Amino acid sequence: MNLSEGVQVVSLVILSAMVIAAAMGVVLLPNIVYAAFLLGGVFISVAGLYLLLNADFVAAAQVLIYVGAVNVLILFAIMLVNKRQAYPEFKLSGLRNTITALVCIALFCLLTITLTSTNWAIQPATFVLTSTLVTIAKHFFYDYLLPFELASVLLLVALIGAIVLARREFIADVQKDGAIVDESLSLLEKPREQLVGTKL
């Protein structure tokens, strides 16, 4: 075993321990805010495991999407609706804990059997490893260019629609020529002068 292999083994052990410890904290901590922060630690540790597998694009997507978007969204949701409320005691809590423990033990046994029965021998690589970013970029801009562009156009249309719907104001009754017309379902946009006049 040379130095690089030793560094990879040590990094694998450290990242695996971080994933297990953070995941146990997510499940066992009573404070949901701390659990959400530890969930971000789980995502970052998994991104490190992806880096050990030479999957740099997946690791970057893991950090950007799960840590930067999903985990932040979970934290915002927790902080917005974090209302302390006394919940009634669940009658079959002992049965629930027993079932959960049995499921966890069964999964642990299944993973242990898979770990011991799988041949983990790795053949030496006979090809030069290239960055996954280059490979994915080639597929995006050569083989799957049309679906990629169609997806971007679809997202742009959805974004414009969201902006248009967000700018509209609700007008319940509009008076036209002395008669009151119900236009509550038309989602008309208030004129800027009317909005300024109401604020003053």
Going from the N-terminus, what domains does the chain have, and what CATH number goes with each? 1-83 (1.20.120.1200)
pTM value is 0.57
- The pLDDT tens digits of the residues spanning 24-53 come to 999 888 888 888 899 999 999 999 999 888
Binned at pLDDT 50, 70 and 90, residue 56 comes out as confident
Whether residue 108 is predicted with pLDDT greater than 70 in this model: the reply is yes
Q: Binning pLDDT at 50, 70 and 90, where does residue 85 land?
A: low
The per-residue pLDDT of the chain, averaged, comes to 78
- Residue 110 burial by CB count (10 A; 0-12/13-18/19+): exposed, middle or buried? exposed
Q: How confident is the model at residue 109 (pLDDT cuts 50, 70, 90)?
A: very high
Nearest residue to 8 (alpha-carbon basis) of 73, 70, 54, 44: 54
Phi, psi of 189, rounded to the nearest 5 degrees: -100, 130
**Tokens 């319940």, residue located:** 172
Chain segment 124-166, per-residue pLDDT in tens:
656 566 677 778 888 878 888 888 888 888 888 888 887 777 6
Compute the distance between CA of residue 86 and CA of residue 36 in angstroms, rounded to an integer: 21
